[in-house]
Amino acid sequence: MSRQERRTEQSGEGQPRPSAPALVTGATSGLGRSLARALGDRGWTVLVHGRDGGRCAEVVDELRAAGGTAHPYLADLSSLREAAELGRKVAAEHPSLGLLVNNAGVGAGRDSHRREVSRDGYELRFAVNYLAPVVLTHALRSPLRAAGSAQVLNIGSIGQSPVDPDDVQFTRRYDGMEAYTRSKFALAAFTFTIAEEYAGEGIRVNCVHPANYMDTTMVTEAGVRPWSSVAEGTAAVLHAIDEGARGASGQYYNESRRAKAHRLAYSADTQRRLASLTDRLIAPAEGASGPSW
């Protein structure tokens, strides 16, 4: 991508000014923070999600100082109940939502052999990187539909490994990087599972791998030397948003190119199995009525 093309991506040249807000999860650092700034520059009202009130307020103040409109939303997405409560709060305060970016995530970790669990007792990467986005997307389906032309963009990864149906919680021979790639496989499969149905409601759903090993805390804490910048990742995410604005749905992007996710992520059988086990895992957070995929 040329410098001029990158400047065009960042400015959103040719795109209409959004009338409904955008929620970015994990917006207090790294890619999420950079994306929040870029969306603010494009005229979006940005709903800034984070776990820490001080860091959330800092980003909101930064966006407002630049002339934008932003609001803070706190939730720990390692708790599916908090993910559901976040969705309900956003839906109550913003009956129309133009964009949901499921960006918050947990990387491989400092010790790849140390298995961590979420507040619900689930394997942490599967919970935060996959189950929480599913819960949040479900909770926000109504305001997304109300926008008339909305998007869900899942921040995925080129690293994808099928979930083991016999060991979903990865209790045997645990590996942090494998846990991460399993969660990103599940997120891609979720994207393709809901895309057609949601498109019928005016909601486009896509998935993007923004860049390889960006200079983020997630990457450096895993002991990996960064290969690319957050700015490059932000440009790729904006490109995917622009593609969605032009009608693309059910797509996977490798940086700024349409690509193919893991072949099993498109399998109807894989999607049915994953949806079934996911329903069971998230049911306590979503209530007796259960999810609506």
Active-site residue set: 180
Residues 266 and 188: beta-carbon distance below 8 Å: no
* Nearest alpha-carbon partner for 291 in 188, 137, 101: 137
The Cα 280–Cα 156 span in angstroms is 23
The Cα 144–Cα 198 span in angstroms is 9
Name every residue whose Cβ is closer than 8 Å to that of residue 63 and which is 6 or more positions away in sequence: 36, 37, 40, 46, 48, 69, 70
